[in-house]
Amino acid sequence: MARRPKPRNISGKPVSTLFRPQGVPRAKLAGVVVELDAFEALRLVDALGLSQEEAAEIMGVSRSTLCRILGQGRTQVAQALCQGLAIRIELGPGHD
């Protein structure tokens, strides 16, 4: 049985939860889901310029966990930008 995900501290909520390429009809639009913890990691490290150690402490996770979350978020955003996909931000496990 898998271990239950540990809740993470999320201090910044997204202003918008859906970003999509201009000019693509919704019916033909595919997308990627970025979980809220990945959004928070991207916000802290890439937007605010905090170190990974500082961001991990704020989120209440280890640095290695933050690196994994950050890598997943960056990959999802890069795929969306390169392939013209929508980005949807959603709650992940442990965020009720």
User: Tens place of pLDDT for every residue, the chain, 96 residues?
Assistant: 676 666 777 877 888 889 999 988 888 889 999 999 999 999 999 999 999 999 999 999 999 999 999 999 999 999 999 999 999 999 875 554
Cα torsion angle, 58, 60, 64, 66, sign: negative
CATH of the domain at 62: 1.10.10
Query: Could you tell me if residue 65 is inside a domain?
Result: yes
Neighbours of 61 (CB within 10 A): 19
Query: Could you tell me if residue 24 is inside a domain?
Result: no
Query: Could you tell me if residue 41 is inside a domain?
Result: yes
Query: Could you tell me if residue 44 is inside a domain?
Result: yes
Q: Measured between alpha carbons, how far is 11 from 27 in angstroms, rounded to an integer? A: 33
How many structural domains are present in the chain? 1
| Domain range for 73 | 34-90
**The pair of three-digit structure tokens given for residue 78, joined into one six-digit string:** 């890069």
Query: Could you tell me if residue 42 is inside a domain?
Result: yes
**The pair of three-digit structure tokens given for residue 89, joined into one six-digit string:** 């931000």
